[in-house]
Amino acid sequence: MVSFDFTGKIVLVTGATGALGRVVARQFHQAGAALALCARDATLLTQLFADLALSPEHLLVGGVDLRSPDDCQRLAEVVANRFGKVDALVNTVGGFTAGPPVHETPVEAWEQMLAMNLHTAFLVSRAIVPLLLRAGGGAIVHVSGRAGLAGFAGGAGYSAAKAGVIRLTEALSAELKEHGINVNCVLPGTIDTPSNRAARPDADFSRWVAPEAVGEVIMFLCSPAARAIHGAAIPVYGLS
């Protein structure tokens, strides 16, 4: 594992119960960060991070739906009350559901993909940026995806949403880089997770990207070594 030091830094990880989020959270913990972890499922969040639940150095915020402006604002208030600021926002929230061709896609399914992947990124950024400004600088890393660069059959809504995350990242960067805040996103290929293995049992898993590898790129983008990188969309494909 690549070595990073986030001692004394407050890192907010959204989607901390997800296959990527839980790995990234542990990586930042091992690097010395004080963590604010949020997820929709409060029970699972506490189970996964029971060792952090009662620690005054860390904060678990369950029951947070990043599709809700009110929930995002509540998250920001809870984090501000505990830490006063945020040094890095790592937003891993998202989701994918394959669908029919565009002409057969229900409007609700299209809107669901936008809500899960793009609206969440917008709403959590909107709520947390003031805490980064209060810190006097920091970093935001959103998780977009390879699909944000090219559409594919059955994935119009997902591809459009992930492309939107890239454009959101670029706009945020243009607005915040003069304030010492680096805003970038990562574009994972197929991540080697249990759910992806179950969905594609005949695939060559060795060609997929490990969540730990994605996490290391995220940590780099939150580190001082990435201070000159603004508005980038970083491919993290593994061998796929």
- Give, in order, the Cα–Cα distances in Å from 240 to each of 109, 142, 191, 193, 210: 28, 21, 10, 14, 11
Superfamily covering domain 10-236: NAD(P)-binding Rossmann-like Domain (3.40.50.720)
Q: What percent of the chain has pLDDT over 70?
A: 100
Query: What integer is the mean pLDDT of 126-132?
Result: 98
pLDDT at 187: 98
User: What pLDDT, on a 0 to 100 scale, did the predictor assign at position 1?
Assistant: 61
Contact indicator for 120, 92 with CB cutoff of 8 Å: no
Domain extent listing, the chain: 10-236
Q: Between β-strands 88-91 and 59-61, what pairing exists: parallel, antiparallel or unpaired?
A: unpaired
CA distances from 77 to 40, 136, 148 (A): 17, 18, 31
Q: Please name the amino acid found at residue 213.
A: A
- 109-133 core/surface letters (b: 16 or more CB in 10 A; e: else): ebebbbbbbbbbbbbbbebbbebbb
**pTM, 2 dp:** 0.97
pLDDT band per the 50, 70, 90 thresholds, residue 3 = confident
Q: What is the mean pLDDT of the chain?
A: 97
For the cut 70, the answer to whether the pLDDT of residue 211 exceeds it is: yes
Give the model's pLDDT for residue 136.
Answer: 97
Q: pLDDT tens across 43-87, in order?
A: 999 999 999 998 999 999 999 999 999 999 999 999 999 999 999
Percent of the chain's residues with pLDDT above 90: 97
Looking at residue 190, its pLDDT comes to: 94
Distance CA 141, CA 160 (A): 19
pLDDT tens-place string over residues 14-37: 999 999 999 999 999 999 999 999
* Beta bridge mates, 110: none
The predicted-structure confidence for 92-107, as pLDDT tens digits, reads as follows 999 999 899 999 999 9
238, pLDDT greater than 70: yes
Asked whether residue 207 carries a pLDDT value surpassing 70, the answer given is yes
- Report the pLDDT averaged over residues 142-152: 97
Q: What pLDDT score was predicted for residue 2?
A: 74
Give strand pairing partners of 30: none
Residue 113 in tokens: 């993909």
**Residue 104 contacts by C-beta under 8 Å, 6 or more apart in sequence?**
none
